[in-house]
Structures are given as C-alpha cells and as structure tokens.
C-alpha cells in the first residue's frame, strides 16, 4: 500500500470534475567520467526547465532540484506488486538535448540510482497541486543509444529495475569458498565442500 499526501489524494479524487495534468520527474545519479565523482541530472515530462523541491528517495529529506524539460521523456507504467516480482521501468528520452548527451556520454550509468516522482498540476492555476510523490526507486540496468537512420529520430532507452529486489539477487563472495568462510570468525561450514562435491553416492544400492 502506498501512502500519499492529502493534497495529492484530493487532486486524484477531484480529477473527474476538474481534470488532471500528470507529470513525472526522473532523477539519475551516475559517475562523472572525467572526475569520477557522483553527478546527477533531473528530467521531467514538462516542456520547460523547472526548479522544484522533492523528497529524496534516499534520505527522505526535501531537496531543491533542477529538472530539464522538452526532452520527449516517456516513462513506462510502474508495476505495483505485492510479491518479489522485479519491477522493471523503461525511461525513453530523445538524444539531441545537451543534458541528455551529458547524461549518456559524460556519465557512467552502470547501476546508477534512479528516482521517479509523480506530480499533478492544477488545471486552473497551472501550479503544482501537491509536492511530487516518490513512485519508484531503482537502479539502471542498461542504457543503449539507438542511432537513427537518415531522416529519423533517435532515442535512448534506460532500463531500470527496483532497487530493493535487485539487492536479493546479489552474490555474496564471502560465502563462495572455505577461504572466504575462514575470514568470518573461524566458520568452517565449507571446509570439505570441494571434497564432497566429487563424492559418488550410490543411492538405493548396496
């Protein structure tokens, strides 16, 4: 179950009468290839650049961020699951804008943290009806650049998987061998693992 603010809930429930202008914000933190330092870029589905305060999905604290607009940004539906199914989200953006070129050519996006926020605008005032709500926390799982044919438009598809489920698939090298186990306080659970692996046990035979 997802908890949302009362203002965002009011915007959703009033959408039938007033309409709704949904927007999505994508925040990607990669590693600068020149300096090696972490660097972030914000993208959103609006037409112009915007400065807005969102709640960080990492710290849980408000952060003032800049998001670049007019990038033909599209975010696939975010799966809502109650089990351990891996949530996969595809982020598609045009590749012409300088911000996008910096993102895919100036940053290392391998396993880059990704945050996606949802927000709606009031149809009357054209102002945010509520602060952006965190909708997805994940890591980049690939960012291929599609080179278009002459006269066609190219795009970039960044695949992201949910960070929580991705943690469950990590291997633990400390448990891969007897030498690794010895570093864990004298644990000898895998002492004879290499020998037992070669045993031929005639099950059901005399």
- 32: pLDDT strictly greater than 90: yes
Average pLDDT over residues 6-26: 76
Identify the CA nearest to 12 among candidates 119, 127, 172: 119
* Mean pLDDT rounded to a whole number for the chain: 79
Number of domains in the chain: 2
In a domain, 1, yes or no: no
Which residues are CB-contacts of 137 (< 8 A; sequence separation ≥ 6)?
A: 57, 113, 114, 115, 116, 162, 163, 164
- 192: pLDDT strictly greater than 80: no
How confident is the model at residue 202, as a pLDDT? 66
The tokens describing 85, both together, are 């199914």
pLDDT over 90 for what percent of the chain? 33
How far, in Å, CA of 176 to CA of 138, rounded?
A: 27
Pairing of strands 50-55, 88-94: unpaired
Pairing of strands 62-68, 38-44: parallel
- 92: pLDDT strictly greater than 70: yes
- 205: pLDDT strictly greater than 70: no
Q: Is the domain of 73 the same as that of 152?
A: yes
- 79: pLDDT strictly greater than 90: no
Q: Is the domain of 141 the same as that of 185?
A: no
In a domain, 64, yes or no: yes
Q: Is the domain of 61 the same as that of 151?
A: yes
Rg value, the chain, Cα: 23
Identify the CA nearest to 134 among candidates 34, 205, 63: 63
Q: Is the domain of 137 the same as that of 187?
A: no
- 176: pLDDT strictly greater than 60: no
Query: pLDDT per residue over 116-155, tens digit each?
Result: 999 888 777 777 777 888 899 999 987 777 766 666 677 8
In degrees, rounded to 5, the angle at the alpha carbon of residue 77 between the alpha carbons of residues 45 and 68 is 15
Q: How many helices (H) and strands (E) does the chain have?
A: 6, 10
How confident is the model at residue 183, as a pLDDT? 63
Domain that holds residue 118: 6-168
How far, in Å, CA of 10 to CA of 161, rounded?
A: 30
How far, in Å, CA of 174 to CA of 156, rounded?
A: 37
Query: pLDDT per residue over 49-76, tens digit each?
Result: 999 999 898 888 999 999 999 999 999 9
């Amino acid at each position: 179950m997802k908890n949302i603010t009362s203002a965002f809930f009011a915007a959703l429930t009033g959408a039938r009468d007033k309409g709704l202008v949904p927007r999505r914000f994508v925040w990607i933190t990669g590693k600068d290839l020149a300096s090696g330092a972490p660097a972030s870029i914000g993208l959103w589905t609006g037409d112009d650049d915007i400065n807005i305060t969102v709640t960080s999905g990492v710290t849980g604290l408000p952060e003032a961020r800049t998001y670049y607009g007019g990038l033909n940004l599209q975010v696939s539906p975010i799966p809502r699951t109650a089990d351990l199914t891996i949530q996969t989200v595809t982020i598609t953006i045009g590749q012409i804008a300088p911000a996008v070129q910096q993102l895919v050519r100036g940053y290392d996006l391998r396993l880059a943290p990704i945050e996606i926020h949802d927000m709606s605008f009031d149809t009357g005032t054209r102002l945010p009806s509520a602060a952006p709500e965190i909708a997805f926390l994940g890591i980049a799982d690939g960012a291929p650049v599609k080179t278009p044919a002459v006269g066609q438009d190219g795009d970039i598809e960044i695949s992201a998987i949910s960070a929580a489920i991705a943690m469950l698939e990590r291997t633990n090298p400390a448990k891969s061998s007897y030498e690794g186990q010895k570093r864990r306080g004298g644990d000898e659970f895998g002492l004879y693992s290499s020998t037992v692996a070669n045993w031929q046990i005639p099950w059901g035979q005399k």
